[in-house]
Structures are given as structure tokens and as C-alpha cells.
Amino acid sequence: MFKKVYLLLVLGAALACKASPSKPIKVPGSRDLQPDEQQVAVCKQIAGLITNFNYKKVALNDSISEIIYNRYIKTLDENRSYFLASDIKDFDKYKDVLDDDVKVGNLNNVFYIFNVLQKRYIERINYSLAQINNNFDFTKNESFVYEREKLPYLATQADMDAMWTQRVKYDLLNLKLASADMTKNKETLKKRYENLLSQANKLSNQDVFQQFMDSFTEAIDPHTNYFNPSNAAQFNIEMSRQLEGIGASLLVVNEYVTIKSVVPGGPADKSKQVNVDDRIVAVAQGKTGEFQNIVGWRVDNAIALIRGTKGTVVRLELLAANASAGSKPRTIELVREKIILKDQSAQKEIRTYNSNGKTVKIGVISIPAFYIDFNDYKAGNPNYKSTTHDVKLLLDTLKQQNVDGIVIDLRENGGGSLMEAIELTGLFIKTGPVVQVRDTKDQVDVSRDDDPSIAYSGPMAVLVDRFSASASEIFSGAIQDYGRGLIVGTQTYGKGSVQNAIDLDRIMGTPIKDKLTQLAGRVAGTQKVKSGAVSTGSQSTYGQLNLTIAKFYRISGNSTQHKGVTPDINFPSLIPLDKYGEDTEPSAMPFDSIAKSDYTKAGDFTTVLPQLKKLHDQRMASSASYKYMLEDIADYKKHDADTSVSLNEADMKKQRDEDEAKAFKHNNERRVALGLPALKKGDKKPKNEDLDFVKREAGQIITDYISLEPKLTSISTQ
């Protein structure tokens, strides 16, 4: 169905109109960041792609312009702590011109807005630095309003100064409650503010462009997104759960790019020369390349130098954690490899339950995302990394360990590859449709599992929450529609749209004739919802656009859009449903339905559900853990309504002590309820403790089902 889409996208983008943008507006006091020609070109291309090929068919007009404008302003200063009311009044002239700007790639207006923000930000941090040595009176009954999103923008510089003086007082009071040494506290806060200034000075035009493009694309729909080159590389690493590099995670500490962790079995680990907290001073490419000093660099820029294609050499100059800045760094040489991120892949565990004196073993498979290594897949490697391949191996192991049932844990799984959602469903059904996809021409394509083999045919449940989205909803919806397993948890996110990941390098920088020649042969072999994979070891030039091109529907005919998947057995949601979910997004598509697919159910839980719900409700009525969950939800709602905090030391200390004592008490109550020993003051929490009450209950529900006699439902593998 999508074979011609990518070629059409190229044609539409290539025909984007041209016009001369307005002149840049200088902003003294900022770093005066300006767009480059590449960003201008990318903006025009994306505007053309969205106008012509987005599923919603939204025209770029003044109405959309105002939405883009409001989103951009909110993104830059959501808490209304930097812009003055006069700034907003000045910016309002751009409300109805941003639609025209994006069509021609005019980024001068949005960069002007950003530069004003940066000027205000630098002013605020410098002002805060000047206030640190004030002698604050912490006995006065004052309060600091930290939540300003719904308040008006401040009108004068004096108002802004007063608010930020309270902010400094609040920061110092927090430090004072931890340590009475105010000289040390002031030095700590000074370093904190100076670090904020340092980070502000490292912002690049790519950061500005990314923020504006987020505002632009999400005004169209929440899931059409542009990724700049570094973000595109990270997106594809998350999709494949693999990267090509040295096998170390990095962060910036006091201006040094520092080793945070080392991946077991990776080049850094195998070298025995790289330690956690080592500081990287410089990076060189190959055996003879010149070293480039990276002290003071942003971590994403450093990563771009250190990652690279497997088999290539990178050299590092390292300072040990305890070495002085003037010490001579040691030089090491590493050969980059493909790194498999095992900790971010599907994992298994076995839980045991008692049912009428009989031990029941439940295997739990936690799936963080629907990932796939598209490069290996397209290259024909039969052992390509994917969710389905990993889960298949885990299922084989669990079957060898004689589990009685399984739980697939999809909580906080935001989705990923549509193909993987289909393939994973196929592990649990014989054959049949899995999902329906409707394109921009209202043509419906039914994606099927045609492999008759079944990896697991026993009892199963799928655990979901509010952050289970997209591919998670396809899988859980199909399992529910087939009657193949129970769905337990809370209502899912409600993302029912399909995105095409477009590598912009393929449609920019070459003559249109060359584009057509290159792509004509590629389109036929392109994966349905993936138009090309970006290397896991390097960055693209122009970035990537994830464009909404279709809407998916369950085989029952209902869309998951807006409504998500409703569990068979419901839990209260720790995640506030009124703040997170597709139905909270102003630009989201509505719910609708189409004709159902032709499919044969594998089972039916209709008659057994009342009994399972009754058993669940009886446990919850006497469950201390359930009571504490409800208390957590109530506490969140209470604190979420707070917008200010006292600046009186005695009041803040009293409130903090009460909160800490309450949290300590509640934590021990929860531990005891789960059969774990209470902790004493100062004790550290043991690692890998089982504190997941919801996961435990999901296993108990499937245990209830296994234990019901006579069976009120059956699962057919025929």
C-alpha cells in the first residue's frame, strides 16, 4: 500500500516554493544565534511534505500559524519566568505569519524570539548571581510561587527582579536545610548558576531549530516530528537497541565529558583501560588522526565524534577521576563495535504463586519497546535484533522451565515498529489479521500473520498502563480481540496513527532527476512504515522526519486513537489520565471505526471475567498495597495542586520533616505489605527488590484463571 508514498514525498518536497526570507534581527545581550542555509532548506522541505502528505491534510494558514506561535512561546518559557509582557506584545505580530515563514524557510523571526529568550535568561542568571550574597531573612512569612504557567507575564523589570530574588532565597533555603554552612552554600549555588550560564552559552542554532520544528510539527499532529541529526541518530539507536561505538555512556561533569558507565563486553570494557568517572580530554579519528580537545563541549557533540562505524579506530585522551587538570592524560586506542543494549531489550523473570496448596509458576516478559535493527533486516541477516526474536528466545526458555502461564508487561512501552507489533502477535496466534491500516486515500490494508507456527499457546495476560502506546496498543488490542489473553492494567495512551520515518538525506542535496533514479528501485523493497534506516554508528546530514501517513484500526474495526485499549480488569492509574494521553493533545485526531476484519477468535473470556474480577476485587478490598496505591494517587493530586512554597525556614523545615517522616513510614508500610522487612533510618534500599505490586497482581490474576475449575473458557491453537 505504501510503495509509492516515499516517491511521492520526494516529488512534493522537490517542488517546494522559493522565496527570500526577511533579514535577521540582532538581539544585543544574546549569543545572537542565526539559522543556516541547511536549516532553511530543511524547513521548506518539511513544510511541503506536511502540506501534501500528512494524513490529516491540514492546510498551513493563519489559524495553524497561531497554534504554532503559541506552542513555540510555551515551549521556550512554559513557566513565564523569563519573557516580559512587553516581549510577548512585541512577538504577537508573528502570530499570523509563521505559516508563510515555514513555507519559504524563513527562520529569522523564530530565531529572533529565541534570542530574546536567551537574552532574558542570561539577564536572570546574572541577576541571581548578584543576589547570592544578600543577607536573606528566613524568619519572614513569605512564599515563593514556583508554578506560574497560568499567571500573567510579569509587566516590569522590577516585578521580574522581585520574583527572581525569591527564587534565589528559595534555592539558598533548600541548601541551608541540608547544611548550616552558609558560606559553602553560597559557593555551591554560585557554581550552580555559573553552570547554567555555561550551558546557555553552548546552545547552537540546531537547538533553536529543533525547538521550533517541534512546535511546528506538533501543531499539525502530536506524532509528526522532525529530528535533527543527533536526535535522529538517537531515535534509530532506540529503534534498533543497538549502536556502533565504544560501549560507554557519557555525561558532562564540571566541563569534562565523563564516563558514566561501561557496557559489559564492549570495546571500552574489553580494553581494561577505561574506568567509570574517567574524563575524556580529546578525541582523534583513526590511528594517525589529529586530537581534538573536547573540554567544555556538550555531550551530544562529543558523542558524535566518539561513535562511528564498526571496525574503525578512535583514540581517546583520558584523565583519571582523581587526576588533577594539569596531569598528563593517557592515550588509548579502541576499535568501534556494534553494541547491543541488552539492558534496554526484552527481559524475563519467573514468579511463583500458591493456589490451593499448589505452586504455580508465572513467567513475566517485560518489553520496553518494539525495536528492530532495520539495517540488518534489510541486509538479509536472519539473526537481526528485534523484539520478536528476543521474546521468542525468552518464551523458549520459559517453556523449558515449565511455567504455567505468562504475563507480557508493556507498561511505559511507547511503541516503535509496526512490523514488530504484527510479528510479536504472530507468536501467540496461528494465522489471521492483526491490524488494519487506512491511508490518506481512505484505502484500507489488512496486515496479517501468515506464519502458522505458535511460540506459546498457554494462558497469558498483557499488562498495560497509560504510557503503553501505538505498537503496544496494536498488540494488546489484537490479543484482546482474538480472546487470546487477558488485558489488565489501566487505559492505554490512545495513539492510533502510523508514521513514515523519512531520512531527509535521501531527498535533499541531489538533483531531482538523481533522486527519482535512486528511489525508483528502492521503493519496491522498502518496509511498509520504514523508508530507510539511519546508521546506528553515525549521524545524518539533514536529519529525519517522522510523518503521519496513516491511521491504524483494530481487527474489530475500532481505532485505538483517543480511546486506547480498555483492560478487561482495570487498575487505578498512578499516571494522571487528565494530563497524559492522546485525548489531552489539542491537535490529536478523533476516534472513529471501520468495518471489522474477517477473523476467528482463539478464545473467549466473557463468562470467566466476572469470576476473575470478583477474586481480584476481594483481594483488593483487603490489600494494604492496594490501599497505599490509592493513597499515592490522592497525594499526587493534592501536591499537584500546589503552586507555592513557604520561604520561612521553620515552616519549610517542619513541612519537609513531616513529608520525609511520612514517606519513610509509608515506604516501610508498603514493604511490610509485600512481605519485605522494614528499613531503619539510614539503611539503603537493597538492590533488585520486588516492590512492584501491580506486576504481582497481574501474575495472580492469570494464576486465578489457570486455577478455575471447570474451565469456563478455552484457548484454541487450531
Rounded Cα–Cα distance for residues 654 and 146 (Å): 19
3-class secondary-structure state, position 549: strand
Rounded Cα–Cα distance for residues 503 and 546 (Å): 9
Instruction: With residue 374 as reference, give the H or E element that holds it.
Output: helix 374-379
Is-catalytic flag, 646? Answer: no
Rounded Cα–Cα distance for residues 90 and 108 (Å): 15
Catalytic position from the list 481, 503, 505, 568: 481
Residues whose CB falls within 8 Å of the CB of residue 58, separated by 6 or more in sequence, listed in order: 50, 64, 220, 221
Asked whether the beta carbons of 491 and 565 are under 8 A apart, the reply is yes
The DSSP secondary structure of 606-627, one letter per residue, reads TTTHHHHHHHHHHHHHT-HHHH
Is-catalytic flag, 191? Answer: no
Catalytic position from the list 386, 470, 476, 559: 470
Instruction: With residue 238 as reference, give the H or E element that holds it.
Output: helix 229-240
Rounded Cα–Cα distance for residues 319 and 317 (Å): 7
Rounded Cα–Cα distance for residues 411 and 703 (Å): 20
Catalytic position from the list 495, 515, 551, 695: 495
- Cis peptide leading into residue 710 (ω within 30°): yes
CB burial of 69-106 (b: ≥16 within 10 Å; e: otherwise) equals bebbbeebbeebbbbbeebeeebeebbeebbebbbbbb
Beta-bridge partner residues of 500: 547
Is-catalytic flag, 32? Answer: no
DSSP strand pairing (279-285 vs 292-293): antiparallel
Rounded Cα–Cα distance for residues 658 and 473 (Å): 41
Rounded Cα–Cα distance for residues 375 and 385 (Å): 10
Asked whether the beta carbons of 575 and 707 are under 8 A apart, the reply is no
User: Would you please indicate which residues are annotated as catalytic (active-site) residues?
Assistant: 470, 481, 495
